[in-house]
Structure 1
Amino acid sequence: MPTQTGLRTPAPQATARARELVEPALRAAVATLHPLPARMAAFSFGWCEADGTPAPSPGGKGVRQAFALLGAEAVGAPEEAAVQAAVAVELVHTFSLVHDDIMDGDERRRHRDAAWKAFGTGPAVLTGDALFALAVQTVAGAGGGHAGRAVAHLADCLGELVRGQADDLLFEDRPWTGPDAVSIPEYEAMAGRKTGALLGCALSLGPVLAGAPALQTGALVEAGRRLGVAFQAVDDLLGIWGDPLTTGKPVHSDLLRRKKTLPVLAAVARGGGATGRELTRLLGSETVPDATAAQRAAALVEAAGGRGFALEEARRHAAAAQACLRGAGLVESATGELVALSAQLLERRL
Structure 2
Amino acid sequence: MSMMPGYNGEQNCTYSHRYPFPDAIYFDKKSKPFSTEIHGFSDASELAYAAVVYLRITDTSNRIHIALVMSKSKVAPIKRLTIPRLELCGAQLLARLIHHIRQVLDIPLSLTHAWTDSTIVLNWLDGNPRRYKTYVGNRISTIVDLIPPDKWRHVRSADNPADCVSRGLYPSELLDHSLWWNGPTWLKEPPTNWPERLPLPPNKPEIDEKEVSLLVLTQDLTPIIPMDRFSNYDSLKRVTAWTIRFNRNSQTKNIAERIKTHLTTTELQAAENYWIKVIQATHFAADPGFTPKKTNSLQLQFTNVSATIY
* TM-score normalised by the chain length of structure 2: 0.21
| Higher relative contact order, chain-length normalized (CA < 8 Å, sep 6+) | 1
Greater Rg over alpha carbons, structure: 2
